[in-house]
Structure 1
């Protein structure tokens, strides 16, 4: 693949760009990378108080882990979503934010998008390690599923990078893209079973019935991120492998979206300096 050869030839640049992103996020802060845990922890506390105590959302215990902690259940969906949204939002701004560099020096423009993804992957990995430790301390046994979870993290990185590549090109041509996507992400967040279980949608769907052979829940499952959340919860909260159908959907989405994203990006990257 051309992207592989481009990144291999510019691997030193890719490393430097990634480290610039990692170090630049928390430059001159006392806690450094520990701040990467602050936002998800704050969201966990807020959502746990609102949805588990006030609204009393009750997801089913982990099967077969037996875990029954809303905070852990929540984080298994919230952390992947936060990573995805950070990669896409950062990717959309990567080309516009490096306009001067793109106009002055030739290098594979894809390095800007990939370095953004790798930098967020580094922060996300720290968060996921903390989550796994918390699951173990509270009685879970994710030992056999850490490796599949790491593979799933790589697949989500591919999916996120593919989306970021498409939207970064769109944002170069239409600067309204970043503002529009801000609204889309707010809506999309609540269209995912992150703070409520998908069974709630399934119950409502059963009462509504079907239209043209499709139920509300069938439409709900067309959301690609639904399958990623389901897979992460199966591995880390339920402590079991996802269903084969879920695994195949996630694999197809990750590779398909990444390849389409790269194809779109590759078609436009030679003209980025002119458009910017």
Structure 2
């Protein structure tokens, strides 16, 4: 895992890339870094209004405090989607730097993911505070969302490194990712519980596919369980999340190593 060890070994360079990406993201804006908090909170509010107020679907009516149910499921998805999209082009956008200076190139997409961690942390803080204030049952478990979020960061970091590496060679990858994210969102139980879907009892195989065939389902459920249900993630969900995180990290490292020597020429 030297690919990830370089983040610690070259932590000063990684920190410089992180600060550069964060400043560039909001360069010229009046609020500056304050947008790091404002944007994810605004996005969560938009989802809340659309799906909890304007769209009164059956899953909405079946869940008490649906607005909080939604807010507790959104942060990991927003972090996942924004990290994959922003990191996909990171090696291409830093082509001049990569060609001129020899350094661990994996730091580039990983620093982009790190900038998204800031927004993820802001969304987690909002969900955590609301959970503690609104739901008495979660006051003993809500804090479990913090280590769960740390595992999610590792999972997304590995996937983002793999996507960025492949996209540096095959430019279609970023478009494929963008096209997949919208249907993937609706196939992930963020707006609903799988058990509340109409007719799902008649199609148990479909419930299994949505539950275990979608790698984002355990991510969302593990994050939401301590914040909304007042319980730790189930053993099956926790094991699934930890396993797919290890797989994502290994995949990211293997894919990066396989294309590392070609990145400078192709970028």
Q: State the TM-score, normalizing by the size of structure 2.
A: 0.90
CA contact (8 A) 1:89 1:178 kept: yes
Aligned equivalents of 2:66 and 2:36: distance in 1? 21
State the shift of 1:41 in Å: 3.5
Aligned equivalents of 2:215 and 2:93: distance in 1? 29
1:216 to 182, 206, 212: 206
Aligned equivalents of 2:210 and 2:81: distance in 1? 19
CA separation of 1:33 and 1:74: change in aligned 2, threshold 3 A: farther
Aligned equivalents of 1:46 and 1:111: distance in 2? 33
Aligned to 1:271: 262
* 2:199 is the counterpart of 1:204: yes
Aligned equivalents of 1:7 and 1:80: distance in 2? 23
The Cα RMSD (Å) is 2.0
State the shift of 1:32 in Å: 2.8
2:170 to 168, 171, 174: 174
Deviation string, structure 1 residues 155-196 (Cα, Å, up to 9, x no partner): 111111111122112211221211121110011111111122
Aligned to 1:23: 23
* Unmatched tracts of structure 1, length 5 or more: 62-67
CA contact (8 A) 1:59 1:196 kept: no
* Unmatched tracts of structure 2, length 5 or more: none
State the shift of 1:146 in Å: 4.7
Aligned to 1:246: 237
Aligned equivalents of 1:51 and 1:109: distance in 2? 40
* 2:219 is the counterpart of 1:228: yes
Return the structure number with greater helix share. Answer: 2
Aligned equivalents of 1:141 and 1:28: distance in 2? 44
State the shift of 1:78 in Å: 1.0
CA contact (8 A) 1:227 1:249 kept: yes
Aligned equivalents of 1:146 and 1:51: distance in 2? 24
SS in 1 for 2:232: coil
CA contact (8 A) 2:135 2:228 kept: no
State the shift of 1:60 in Å: 5.1
State the shift of 1:19 in Å: 1.3
CA separation of 1:48 and 1:130: change in aligned 2, threshold 3 A: closer
SS in 2 for 1:237: helix
Deviation string, structure 1 residues 13-39 (Cα, Å, up to 9, x no partner): 001111112222222323233323444
CA contact (8 A) 1:135 1:141 kept: no
CA contact (8 A) 1:165 1:265 kept: yes
Aligned equivalents of 2:41 and 2:169: distance in 1? 36
* 2:91 is the counterpart of 1:100: no
Aligned to 1:65: none
* 2:246 is the counterpart of 1:255: yes
Aligned to 2:184: 188
Aligned to 1:85: 81
